[in-house]
Amino acid sequence: MKVLEGFRATLLDNINDVKKKKDWGIFIDSCYVHCQSWRNILWHGPNYQRINNKTMAESVGDWYFDRREVKEIDCSYPCNPTCVNDGS
């Protein structure tokens, strides 16, 4: 657990410049599954990972079409109840 927490802390420390850029989007969830976005349903499904009630698809769309500044950063693992662990 400490390794995961350390990785998250290091990652967040190293993207400070990215967080300051209004036209750069961020969607960093705390889900443990490596291939969580490989299937379309995982981007759009009503029961899959969200941050602040936004799916990856909504966040990418909002960023791409410049509808809002997207800086979605999840809380530390294992806090997100929308994470799936089997990729299905």
Sequence ranges of the domains in the chain: 2-73
Task: Read off the pTM.
Answer: 0.81
Contact 32, 63 (CB under 8 A): no
For position 31, what pLDDT does the model report? 83
For position 36, what pLDDT does the model report? 67
Per-residue buried b or exposed e for 27-50, using 16+ beta carbons within 10 Å of the residue's own CB: bebbbeeeebbeeeebbeeeebbb
- Residue-wise pLDDT tens digits, 41-64: 777 777 788 999 998 899 999 999
